[in-house]
A and B are shown apart, each in its own frame.
Chain A
Amino acid sequence: MKKVFAIVLAMAMVFALSATAFADGAFKIGSSGPLTGGAAIYGNAVMNAARIAIDEVNAEGGMQFEFQAQDDEADSGDKAINAYNTLLDWGMQVMIGTVTSGSGITVSAQAAEDRMFMLTPSGSSVDMIDGKDNVFQVCFTDPNQGVGSADYMAENFAGAKVAVIYRNDDAYSQGIRDTFVKEAEAKGVEVVYEGTFTNDTATDFSVQLTDAQAAGADMLFLPIYYQPASVILSQANQMGYAPTVFGVDGMDGILTLENFDTSLAEGVMLLTPFSADADDARTQAFVAEYQNRYGEVPNQFAADGYDAVYIVKAALEAAGCTPDMSFEDICEALVAVMPTITVDGITGQGMTWAASGEVSKAPMAVVIRDGAYVTP
């Protein structure tokens, strides 16, 4: 027993030492997201990509960043705040986070009170930025995706009968569904069926699919993440039900899902800001580096995390911030410059921000053909 304790203590000391050894004159960038548990794939993607971007920035030799990631387990209550507080104690000056909307709504309320600048890579809920001037987003807000999807369908699939299956305990899914249904009505897209599920019931969709088929839907709109979407695709295939499947950015990643037959995703359409197969040099360099370091193809969350670092860098430069400033001063300076800057990233060219925190960039519709994204 003594030996075990000795080892544990020794490890604790090593970690404590490594945490205190930091470079002078670097901005402390903190991030929190799910690093363990069911949503860890998103958190780890953001953190991995952010580390790549930070190493690139530091290698340039100009502005220097230090980075720390904390685990919030995608919890919407105490654990999210605990992670945030830990980052504050570390001396975080700018927050790239949170990864998920649920934690983000809790943390952003606190950050607005503390005056901590927050740039969320992937927290797309409107509740995250609503009424808080210090919170900005890299990803689209949910309403924008819903509107974009409905507009795209009205334009390209006139007369389609649409079934929507969404997850109603998820602010992301619910948010997209709400604006989609509203916009669909306005644009004359007929929604014939709506089915819901929750995190606990995301393993079987036979009821929703049978109902959708019975309602005569020839198009399936899935404003959900790719994991439940993969189950829906394989169950629909087993039933012999073959509607056109339309997803949003959460669908991105379905091609890299383990044990998933990608032929089932053939013909799936999605709106996404990022495609790992894009042929611009920057995306290719990022994808190569990501694969080199972590052995997998980066998804859209990773791309958001990568862009977030460069956005923070651009904003800090534009505001003329220095690493010795307090986080409150940095926040005020960044809030003032965010609506004025334009950033080219791998999730969009010429990204700009409204003072409300919403990003403006063009969504891209892609269709999956032979296991790759192509523009329809």
Chain B
Amino acid sequence: MGPVNRKTLFKDSRSDLFTYLGVILAFIVITMLKNRGALNRSQSGLLVPICCYIVMAVSLNLTVGILGDLSLGHAGFMSVGAFTGIITSMSLIDIIPSAPIRLTIAIFVGAFFASIVGFLVGIPVLRLKGDYLAIVTLAFGEILKELITCLIVGFDSKGLHIIFNVSGSKTANDLNLLEGGRVIIKGAQGATGTKTIANFTAGFILVMITLVIVLNLIRSRHGRAIMAIRDNRIAAESVGIPLTKFKMIAFVTSTALAGAAGALFGLNYSNLAAAKFDFNTSILVLVFVVLGGLGNIWGSILATVVLYILPEALRGFASYRMLIYAIVLILVMLTTNNPVLKSLFSRWSFRGNKQESEGGSNG
């Protein structure tokens, strides 16, 4: 862990403070604009998914940037959270009519199940290093997606009915729901007819909770131990840091937050299929993290906002939209890696970023 420099400590907490203030300020400004009707439909429709993806990017940054392990299956944990969250919300709809309370419970349940799955996946996965770990997380992400594809879930007065449809021959009719029951997840077609209860305020609160958890974890003793593992595994082990324990802490925290983001995302759309959470979504979130800078939390937030809005902003290009999106992505990656711009950025940034970003890029 080394001697803690007072100056860097001060710089760190100042940077954290600016991150919190930035997010709060953005929330206040956007809410004011929204209340005055200055935001159009497509802009206000982007708010909740942006919040979800910010939580995804920040939590993935914990695994990739802080722990230094490349995970390509983050969307898998998001899907666990999304579908458990949807099941919870739709099952409780008669018992708890209040949408905010139901949303809160659904997010907690989503985070809980995602963390359990994260723990189980973490046991074999975290023994691996580097490329192997990346490939195995990718495989687990795909397995999670396929498993959810097999789920058929319904709810009636007798409780929850679940069919695990491995052979593919069963349909929602096989649930034999009583009258008044509703089908929540129709196997591969995903959840249909979900009551949408997510909103921007909930998204903002979730982003703030995520920041509190992740930033406090990073600045704590545990966080320094996790970063020590990233920077030099052997040295960390030799000073008595239990590798598995700290790796697991970072990984499970990250998956729990992904589950919470998934629950919010799932409850923002009336129809959601497991195929949404494929490899592409994991890579998308990874792109947010890489562009924002590994280990750089406010960078992840900024990159997510910019890159999520970009394809929407390019709608004017019609058929060339995705082509232009790719070109802009390449240009952005090139310019942010430009040495001149980089030194400019590090002069602006609030902490000794140079040392950290170099350490992170080894992960």
Given known A-B contacts A85-B41, A110-B270, A77 and B265 have beta carbons under 8 A apart: yes
Task: Point out the residue from A19, A106, A199 that lies within 8 Å of B269, measured CB to CB.
Answer: A106
Chain A contacts of B104 at CB under 8 A?
none
Chain A contacts of B273 at CB under 8 A?
76-77, 102, 169
Which stretch, A9-17, A312-320, A345-353, A359-367, touches the partner chain B? A9-17
CB distance from B332 to the nearest CB of A (A): 12
Given known A-B contacts A77-B276, A169-B188, A169-B189, A109 and B271 have beta carbons under 8 A apart: yes
- Measured in the bound complex, the distance between the Cα atoms of B40 and A110 in whole Å is 16
B window 180-207: CB within 8 A of A: 186-190, 192-193, 196
- Measured in the bound complex, the distance between the Cα atoms of B169 and A76 in whole Å is 23
Is there a chain B Cβ closer than 8 Å to A71's Cβ?
A: yes
Is there a chain B Cβ closer than 8 Å to A60's Cβ?
A: no
Is there a chain B Cβ closer than 8 Å to A89's Cβ?
A: yes
Interface residues on A, range: 35 or more
CB distance from A142 to the nearest CB of B (A): 12
Task: Point out the residue from B42, B168, B270, B321 that lies within 8 Å of A168, measured CB to CB.
Answer: B168
Chain B contacts of A336 at CB under 8 A?
none
Asked if B42 and A85 sit within 8 Å, CB to CB, the answer is yes
Asked if B40 and A102 sit within 8 Å, CB to CB, the answer is no
Is there a chain A Cβ closer than 8 Å to B312's Cβ?
A: yes
Is there a chain B Cβ closer than 8 Å to A78's Cβ?
A: yes
B window 18-47: CB within 8 A of A: 40-42, 44-46
Asked if A15 and B317 sit within 8 Å, CB to CB, the answer is yes
- Measured in the bound complex, the distance between the Cα atoms of B48 and A147 in whole Å is 41
Query: Chain A, 330-344, contact with B by CB distance < 8 Å: what is the 0/1 string?
Result: 000000000000000
Asked if A76 and B42 sit within 8 Å, CB to CB, the answer is no
- Measured in the bound complex, the distance between the Cα atoms of B350 and A359 in whole Å is 63
Asked if B270 and A106 sit within 8 Å, CB to CB, the answer is yes
Is there a chain B Cβ closer than 8 Å to A322's Cβ?
A: no
Give chain B's interface secondary structure class.
helix
A window 4-27: CB within 8 A of B: 4, 8, 11-12, 15-16, 19
Given known A-B contacts A36-B319, A81-B269, A89-B42, A127 and B193 have beta carbons under 8 A apart: yes
Query: Chain B, 305-320, contact with A by CB distance < 8 Å: what is the 0/1 string?
Result: 0000000100111110
Chain A contacts of B322 at CB under 8 A?
36, 71
CB distance from A1 to the nearest CB of B (A): 8
Is there a chain A Cβ closer than 8 Å to B346's Cβ?
A: no
CB distance from B53 to the nearest CB of A (A): 9
Closest residue of chain A to B49, judged by CB?
A78
Is there a chain B Cβ closer than 8 Å to A70's Cβ?
A: yes
- Measured in the bound complex, the distance between the Cα atoms of B168 and A105 in whole Å is 22
- Measured in the bound complex, the distance between the Cα atoms of B192 and A12 in whole Å is 37
CB distance from A152 to the nearest CB of B (A): 23
Query: Chain A, 71-93, contact with B by CB distance < 8 Å: what is the 0/1 string?
Result: 10001111001100110110000
Chain A contacts of B265 at CB under 8 A?
77-78
Is there a chain B Cβ closer than 8 Å to A178's Cβ?
A: yes
CB distance from A34 to the nearest CB of B (A): 11
Asked if B275 and A174 sit within 8 Å, CB to CB, the answer is no
Query: Chain A, 122-134, contact with B by CB distance < 8 Å: what is the 0/1 string?
Result: 0000010000000
- Measured in the bound complex, the distance between the Cα atoms of B186 and A76 in whole Å is 14
Chain B contacts of A102 at CB under 8 A?
189, 271, 273
Is there a chain B Cβ closer than 8 Å to A170's Cβ?
A: yes
- Measured in the bound complex, the distance between the Cα atoms of B167 and A195 in whole Å is 9
Asked if A76 and B276 sit within 8 Å, CB to CB, the answer is yes
Query: Chain A, 30-71, contact with B by CB distance < 8 Å: what is the 0/1 string?
Result: 000001100000000000000000000000000000000111
Given known A-B contacts A170-B189, A198-B149, A89 and B316 have beta carbons under 8 A apart: no
Sampled A-B contacts (6; CB under 8 Å): A35-B318, A77-B271, A78-B49, A169-B189, A170-B189, A178-B171
Interface residues of A (CB under 8 A from B): 1, 4, 8, 11-12, 15-16, 19, 35-36, 69-71, 75-78, 81-82, 85-86, 88-89, 102, 105-106, 109-110, 127, 168-171, 174, 178, 194-196, 198-199
Could you list 19 further interchain pairs (A-B, Cβ under 8 angstroms) beyond the known A106-B272, A195-B168?
Answer: A4-B331, A69-B318, A76-B190, A76-B272, A76-B276, A77-B269, A77-B273, A78-B265, A81-B269, A86-B312, A88-B41, A168-B188, A169-B149, A169-B188, A170-B189, A194-B169, A196-B169, A198-B188, A199-B275
